[in-house]
Amino acid sequence: MIELIISGMMTCSLFGQPIIEGGDRQCRYRCQDKSLVYQSTNPKYWCPRILHVPAPKKPLWKRKENDKSNRRSKRIP
């Protein structure tokens, strides 16, 4: 799990796999950040229980705040 965080990946769990009108099986996943991801496959195949997707990038202003707080904590008085 730690390797996924370091590499910028996010784990998503399967929560539904209905067959839609076009004849495809729609795999529905809920990710760690509560977002939803959809993938389609042939109806004769089952959806994988876990899907790994790239994690969304943090906004630049959040990254700067984290960098500053890390620098402050490392200073020696």
Count the domains in the chain. 1
Domain around 22: 2-74
Cα distance between residue 72 and residue 40, in whole Å: 47
pTM: 0.62
C-beta separation of 39 from 20 below 8 A: no
Instruction: Read off the pLDDT of residues 4-62 as tens digits, 9 standing for 90 and up.
Output: 555 678 889 999 888 888 888 999 999 988 889 998 888 888 999 998 888 877 666 65
